[in-house]
């Protein structure tokens, strides 16, 4: 029981650190960038691009982890 509590605490601390890093990095990159996707050109803040990219990577990682457990 004690080991599981330590593991959960470690996970919470790790997730908190990662979220804090993502927020800091995102807030330091507020300038606009041009994104070329196939034939479209989109101007958007870099913070939005970084946030969307981070969310996509997290979703892909989650899906792969679930898939490998089966």
Query: Domain limits at 9?
Result: 2-69
Q: How distant, in Å, are the alpha carbons of 13, 16, 50, 66, 67 from that of 7?
A: 10, 14, 29, 19, 23
Region 38-59 average pLDDT: 87
What is the percent of the chain where pLDDT is above 70?
93
Decide if pLDDT at 23 tops 60. Answer: yes
Count of domains for the chain: 1
What confidence tens digit (pLDDT) does each residue in 5-21 have?
A: 777 888 899 999 988 98
Tell me how far apart the alpha carbons of residues 38 and 25 are, in angstroms, rounded to a whole number: 27
Decide if pLDDT at 68 tops 70. Answer: yes
Q: Is the pTM of this model over 0.85?
A: no
């Amino acid at each position: 029981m004690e080991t599981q509590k330590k593991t959960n605490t470690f996970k919470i601390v790790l997730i908190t650190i990662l979220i804090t890093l993502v927020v800091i990095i995102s807030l330091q990159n507020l300038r606009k960038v041009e994104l070329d996707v196939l034939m479209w050109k989109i101007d958007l803040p870099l913070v939005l691009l970084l946030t969307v990219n981070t969310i996509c990577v997290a979703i892909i990682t989650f899906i792969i982890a679930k898939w490998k457990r089966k």
